[in-house]
């Protein structure tokens, strides 16, 4: 991805400017990786894997944070500079929960405000919730078709020969670890007899020989693995290891439609939250109830309108929230695709 002239100028003028920010979980914690990304002018945002002692409560202040879903919450946040084991300096931001737990995050983004960074990292939960919700309500993992297709030759895969060598090294390394443990755990009494001492030395020597022979095997395997390509083009796989993959084009198309529907649903849920005493999942549940409720369609070609009349819901409070939502939708003056009819939404006989 090429940088625009504006990005190039900004990066040249400010040594702390970055191209973009990469957000990931604590499994990706690596001071060396953070340093590499900094040199590439890519900021990182992740959880601190070794946060150390808690900070004093007096350091935390209340901040209004707007989450990815549009909700505004209050967070207790504090910030310090932090130096990692490789002497890299970062910003460390901590969130204090009501129970007293402190969540620590690290970033090399020195320009964004603390509230935005906190919202960005905690928005990862929104991504996980998105996939859970899409699997549950949109069948995101559903198999659309059963056909297969060839994998493009340019795609690289792990070399089966390299994988076999790596597996052997791991297996023999585990065996060496067990033999070393046995060698160190061989018992010997405080005042051994000559026969006991000779038996002890014999067993020690036998294990020592086995361990040394295993070391030679492991070294040879490592040298062989080093000269074996880790990844090879899929076309270079031996015939017995070649494989195909499920067709993806139709699934990608259907998944795109599902994600568009999800974004539209999220927008409706965001509007509904403003008119509900309880937002969050309740707004989505109400939205699903509306979609499952019967409606009457009444076109009026003279007035160029298409009236969508929803039936009443089970609770009066839900009806009130839906009426407010329909008023917002009517204000958009949306035209039904492929016609000149303006959509008019109504609830019941109102």
pLDDT attached to residue 190: 81
Q: From residue 274, how far is each of 73, 102, 262 by CA, in Å?
A: 14, 31, 19
Closest CA to 342 of 293, 308, 310, 294: 308
**Helices 281-292 and 316-331, packing angle to 10 deg:** 80
Beta strands in the chain (DSSP E): 21-23, 43-47, 61-66, 72-83, 89-96, 102-107, 148-149, 156-158, 231-233, 245-246, 295-300, 305-310, 342-347
Higher pLDDT, 343 or 190: 343
Model confidence at 89: pLDDT above 90: yes
pLDDT attached to residue 8: 79
List 96's β-bridge partners, or say none.
76, 102
**Which residues, at least 6 apart from 279, have a Cβ–Cβ distance to it below 8 Å?**
71, 272, 273
Q: Which of 6-15, 136-145, 302-311 has the highest mean pLDDT?
A: 302-311
Closest CA to 306 of 276, 283, 329, 279: 329
pLDDT attached to residue 257: 86
Model confidence at 2: pLDDT above 80: no
Write the pLDDT tens digit of every residue in 70-88: 667 889 999 999 999 999 9
What CATH number does domain 293-350 carry, 3.90.320, 3.30.70, 1.10.3470, 1.10.357? 3.30.70
Model confidence at 279: pLDDT above 60: no
pLDDT attached to residue 196: 81
pLDDT attached to residue 104: 93
- Per-residue pLDDT band for 107 (boundaries 50, 70, 90) equals very high
Domain-wise residue ranges, the chain: 5-122, 125-150+244-292, 156-239, 293-350
Write the pLDDT tens digit of every residue in 128-179: 667 777 888 878 777 777 777 777 777 888 888 899 999 999 999 999 999 9
The answer to whether residues 310 and 322 touch, using CB atoms and an 8 Å cutoff, is yes
Q: Would the pTM of this model clear 0.85, i.e. be above it?
A: no
The 3-state DSSP class for residue 318 equals helix
Q: How far apart are CA 304 and CA 202, in angstroms?
A: 100
């Amino acid at each position: 991805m090429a940088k625009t002239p504006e990005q190039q100028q900004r990066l040249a003028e400010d040594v702390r400017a970055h191209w973009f920010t990469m957000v990931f979980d604590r499994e990706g914690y690596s001071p060396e990786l953070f340093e590499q990304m900094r040199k590439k002018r890519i900021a990182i945002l992740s959880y601190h894997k070794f946060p150390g002692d808690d900070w004093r409560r007096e350091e935390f202040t209340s901040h209004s944070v707007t989450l990815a879903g549009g909700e505004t919450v209050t967070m207790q946040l504090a910030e310090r500079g932090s130096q990692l084991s490789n002497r890299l300096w970062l910003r460390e931001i901590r969130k204090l929960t009501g129970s007293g737990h402190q969540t620590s995050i690290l970033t090399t983004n020195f320009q964004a405000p603390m509230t935005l960074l906190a919202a960005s990292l905690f928005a990862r939960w929104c991504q996980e919730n998105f996939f859970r919700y899409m699997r549950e309500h949109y069948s995101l993992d559903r198999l659309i078709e059963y056909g297969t297709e060839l994998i493009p030759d340019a795609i690289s895969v792990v070399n089966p020969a390299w994988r076999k060598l790596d597996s052997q090294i791991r297996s023999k390394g585990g065996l060496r670890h067990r033999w070393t443990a046995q060698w160190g755990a061989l018992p010997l009494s405080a005042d051994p007899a000559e026969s006991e001492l000779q038996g002890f030395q014999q067993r020690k020597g036998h294990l020592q020989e086995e361990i040394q022979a295993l070391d030679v095997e492991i070294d040879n395997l490592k040298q062989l693995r080093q000269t074996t390509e880790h990844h090879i083009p899929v076309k270079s796989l031996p015939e017995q290891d070649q494989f195909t993959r499920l067709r993806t084009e139709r699934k990608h198309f259907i998944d795109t439609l599902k994600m568009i529907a999800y974004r539209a649903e999220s927008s409706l849920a965001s509007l509904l939250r403003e008119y509900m005493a309880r937002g969050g999942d309740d707004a989505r549940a109400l939205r699903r109830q509306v979609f499952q409720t019967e409606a009457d369609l009444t076109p009026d070609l003279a007035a160029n309108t298409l009236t969508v009349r929803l039936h009443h819901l089970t609770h009066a409070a839900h009806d009130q929230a839906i009426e407010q939502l329909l008023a917002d939708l009517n204000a958009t003056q949306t035209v039904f695709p492929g016609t000149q009819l303006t959509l008019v939404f109504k609830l019941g006989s109102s």
